[in-house]
Structure 1
Amino acid sequence: MYEKQVARAYHKELWTAIVVYIVLLMGSIKFGRPLAEGALRTVVLLLPMIGFGLMIRAVARQVRRVDEYQRLRMLESIGLAFAITGAVTFSYGFLETAGFPHISMFSVWMVMGASWALVGIARAWFDK
């Protein structure tokens, strides 16, 4: 039962943070892009990072809430995703010097999320 409460609390915190991020992202795009360059525009365009910070907080709180075994598994998965992301982005950096198109830094987070998901799926598949 405790695991369900922990998972519920995590999902509530994470999805709240994601909603905050999306709302701030839409607002920053709508109102920040048309602003003249300067400090105000920079601050408005960075507002979605509040939601991102809340996502980091939700993950950190989840790591503290779970037991030692779950914490070890979670941190191993994050470590593997970090290594995969490093390998993919570093490799693509070499490809850019070979003439491949430049990719936005936003893609790093997408690679990290996909890597984390793939590691989780692989662990669930092979641990049966």
Structure 2
Amino acid sequence: MRWLGLLTIGLIAYVAMLILSQRLLARGTDSEAMRILLSLAPMLPSVFICVVIIRAIHRMDELQRKLQFEALALAFAGTALLTFGYGFLEGVGLPRLSMFVVWPLMAALWVVGVLIGRVRYG
């Protein structure tokens, strides 16, 4: 469960970087390059989180990998269908959603997929 500790560190770093970058952006800067760098700063811990997850999956046994694969497939397909479908609804007047909605949706569907897999293979 070492990966859980690393994941927690990554999430804490993400929140800290997000808060810091937003505060610095709120103060304002004249440099377009600096605004871009500050806006993208939270991506650094995000990359770390992705590496931790991938390494954790590499260390899993075959059944756990299969469960994760199926959960990720559900998350990928479900996110694609839901966001694509909502795009049509935007065309008939529903409010536009931010791209920030996509990752939480995918993560939620991944968790659902893992729970389904644990019931199925448990």
Q: Same fold (TM over 0.5)?
A: yes
User: Which residue type is aligned with residue 42 of structure 1?
Assistant: I
Q: What is the number of residues matched between the two proteins?
A: 121
User: Which residue type is aligned with residue 73 of structure 2?
Assistant: G
Superposed CA RMSD: 1.4
Question: Structure 1: any 5+ residue segments left out of the alignment?
Answer: 1-7
The equivalent residue for 2:91 is: 97
1:125, 1:64 → 2: CA distance? 22
1:83, 1:109 → 2: CA distance? 13
Residue 80 of structure 1 and its aligned partner are, at CA, apart by 1.0
| 1:46-125 equivalent positions in 2, closer than 5 A | 46-125=40-119
Tell me which of 3, 28, 37 is aligned to 1:10.
Answer: 3
Greater relative contact order (CA < 8 Å, ≥ 6 in sequence) = 2
Q: Deviations over 1:44-98 (max 9, x none)?
A: 1110001111110011101111112211111111111110011110100111111
Q: Deviations over 1:80-128 (max 9, x none)?
A: 1110011110100111111110000000011101111122222334445
TM-score (ref. length: structure 2): 0.91
Q: What is the SS of the residue equivalent to 1:36?
A: coil
